[in-house]
Amino acid sequence: MSFYPFFDGSGWSVEEKTAYPDLLEVLTRSKLERILDVGCGNGLFSRAMAARTGATIVGTDRCADALGQCSAHATDDVSFVDPSAVGSQEPFDAAVFSYVDCTQRSAEDRRSLLRSTLSCLRPGSIVAILNPNYPDVIGVDFKSFLAQWAEPGSDIYDGRAVSNRLTDSLGQTGIVQDFAWSSAGTCRLLEELGCRVTITRLTPACSGVSVRTGATVSVSAAYIVVGAIDPSS
């Protein structure tokens, strides 16, 4: 059994159908040495990245409570620092935003977070963004918003607030608010900031039994966009 409790290798759990395994696979293929995990939350996924990729992981989060929980996951290869200390770290060869970009409330917020993160990366690095793919989401009120307002294929929904129902690791269900950012808009943003988009991947919405909680849960469709920084820049 993998130490990472989301994936026990049986292939049946809802966690193994989500975008997390895909993101780990993309990162592992890139043969990375140092990954900055921006918005690392409780640090569990940081630890999974270290185990799967063999890279050194530095996680950071603007929420002091989240950083406090991370200490349980610190090892020789996984450390956690306050955002104010990221700039003084050795440069990274990847930055990961796992369900973080979707919490940014405005186009300017996401642009400034991405821009400041890019300044911590070496030339030739990659940036991986995992977001919910809201146009394909099940079980949220966003679908009715889209049906009423959006032109098919348009990005009119970019930046709209979305209420999503999630079951947390204690089995409690709550509502979280994300902001819908399309995969096409995310690719454009990366390109505007000087990255070449190398991978876009979609994960369908799914439902099933969680290995963490035993509850039957629905999980949003998601997308992963990876941008590469020019090696000569």
Ligand X SMILES: C[S@@+](CC[C@H](N)C(=O)[O-])C[C@H]1O[C@@H](n2cnc3c(N)ncnc32)[C@H](O)[C@@H]1O
Residue 147 tokens, joined: 């049906």
In this structure, which amino acid lies at residue 103?
T
- The residues near 74 (Cβ < 8 Å, ≥ 6 apart) are 43, 80
- Is residue 6 involved in binding ligand X (CB under 6 A)? no
Q: How far is the CB of 45 from ligand X (least distance, A)?
A: 5
Mark residues 187-216: x for contact with ligand X by CB under 6 A, - for none: ------------------------------
List phi, psi (to 5°) of 5.
Answer: -70, -15
CA pair distance 219, 208, nearest whole angstrom = 9
The two beta strands, 56-60 and 34-38, are parallel
Rg for the chain, CA atoms, rounded: 17
Mark residues 112-151: x for contact with ligand X by CB under 6 A, - for none: -x--------------------------------------
Name the one range near ligand X by CB under 6 A: 2-10, 39-47, 141-149, 211-219.
39-47
Q: Which of 4, 6, 92, 99 binds ligand X (CB under 6 A)?
A: 99
Bridge partners of 137, per DSSP, are: none
Q: Which of 51, 66, 193, 209 binds ligand X (CB under 6 A)?
A: 66
Contacting residues toward ligand X, per CB under 6 A: 38-41, 45, 61-63, 66, 83, 98-100, 103, 113
